[in-house]
Amino acid sequence: MHDFFLWELAAEAYEQGGRLVAPLMGFPGVELIGSSIKLVQQNYGEHYKAVKILAERFQPDVIFPLMDLSVEANAVGRYTIFPQNDSATVPKDRFDPGDIERLNEVKISFDSRMMGYVETLKLMSVGLDRKIIKGAYVSGPFTLAALIMGADDAAMAIIENVDVLHKLLRFATEKIQEYVRQLIAAGCKLICILEPTSVMLGAKHFEEFSAQYVRHITSSCKYSGINTVYHVCGNTMHLIEKMAEAGIDGISLDSRQVGIDLAESARRVGKKIVVIGNINPTGAMLRGSASEVKDEVTALLEEMREFPNFILSTGCDLPQETPAENIWAFMEAGRNWRR
């Protein structure tokens, strides 16, 4: 059984006249503790400090560590670059399908950087307010496969090398599930599956190369009583139904500026799938005034007034330089709104 159902929590807040408020934020915590992204992502004590200061200052309903798409790829040995003040990246490197057999034997749960994220979750679980839902990010299968073989090669493999791509996707899914088990053991209650690379796919290919593999992850999470969210950056209006059919509890969607109609998305997924979003993280949140942030948040809340299955959030993780006063404005507008 679930410890909670995401849609029930969203609906309960709605029945009480308000909303759950959960901006995707991790990087602003780096700024608040005067650290660097590289140090925080490689030192779980610093990482916890960055998350803790956000949790204590803003009291969101859900909180995650820093969003990081390189964790699993790095853990299977892909070349990874760690800038001082930017997210880690995985540049294209040589890929040999024969490597999959050898890498199957690698236990990524022993990877030191991955374990840093697991240890961060442990500290979050025991050190943060019990009322805050502790979440964690994992890479989606197609995104991890694209990091391993290269995004362009993954796109070509959909047509020219399907068998190899499926073999790699099965491998990626197994490794992601290995990571998920570690995160659950650390106290994680909500797994957010990041599949930004899959936005390039049409609905049919999305089902074949992403959703069917994500379904394996969501099934195992349900067995453990853990909620799951599917997050795909960009305009995913052509993928909404396929995302909702992947056994997930919620879909996290990008901002209106990239083409997302959040109200239409909520109509299309039904009442039992939570729609999460979608204030632009690089718009007023980053560059505007607190007043502009409040106006944008209030407008979105009014737009979503009829939907119980909605959680106010941002379209993606907030940049490190996001002003604290704008995060305050976001939280205040969300908390003060009444249906």
Give the domains, in start order, of the chain with CATH numbers: 21-273 (3.20.20.210)
Residue 227 dihedral angles phi and psi, to the nearest 5°: -80, 155
Closest CA to 208 of 143, 158, 247, 244: 158
Per residue in 91-105, pLDDT (tens digit) is 999 999 999 999 999
Q: What is the rounded average pLDDT of the residues 237-265?
A: 97
Q: How far is CA 267 from CA 259, 304, 308, 309, in A?
A: 16, 10, 11, 10
Nearest to 176 by CA among 75, 99, 253: 75
**Burial grade of 56 (CB within 10 A; 0-12, 13-18, 19 or more):** exposed
In the numeric block, which tokens belong to residue 214? Answer: 């994500």
pLDDT confidence of residue 3: 60
pLDDT digits (tens, 9 = 90+) for 301-320: 999 999 999 999 999 999 99
The dihedrals phi and psi of 28, each to the nearest 5 degrees, come to -60, -25
Pairs from 91-98 (Cβ < 8 Å, separation ≥ 24): 92/150, 92/151, 92/152, 92/153, 93/150, 95/148, 95/149, 95/150, 95/153, 97/164, 97/167, 97/168
- Spatial separation of the C-alpha atoms in residues 13 and 121, rounded to whole Å: 26
Residue 339: per-residue pLDDT: 78
For residue 286, pLDDT over 70 is answered with yes
Tens of pLDDT, residue by residue over 186-207, are 999 999 999 999 999 999 999 9
pTM equals 0.96
ω into 161 cis (within 30 of 0): no
* 338, pLDDT greater than 90: no
Q: What integer is the mean pLDDT of 43-48?
A: 98
Least-confidence region, from 2-11, 117-126, 175-184, 293-302:
2-11
Which residue has tokens 């969607």? 253
**Mean pLDDT over the full length of the chain:** 96
pLDDT digits (tens, 9 = 90+) for 125-182: 999 999 999 999 999 999 999 999 999 999 999 999 999 999 999 999 999 999 999 9
Cα separation, 263 vs 283, in Å, equals: 20
Burial of residue 157 (number of CB atoms within 10 Å: 0-12, 13-18, 19+): buried
State the residue for tokens 């994220």. 117
Supply φ then ψ for residue 262, to 5 degrees.
-70, -40
Read off the pLDDT band of 1 (50, 70, 90): very low
Instruction: Report which DSSP code applies to 317.
Output: P
Looking from the CA of 68 toward its CB, the CA atoms found within 13 Å total 29
Half-sphere exposure in the Cβ direction for 217 (13 Å, CA): 39
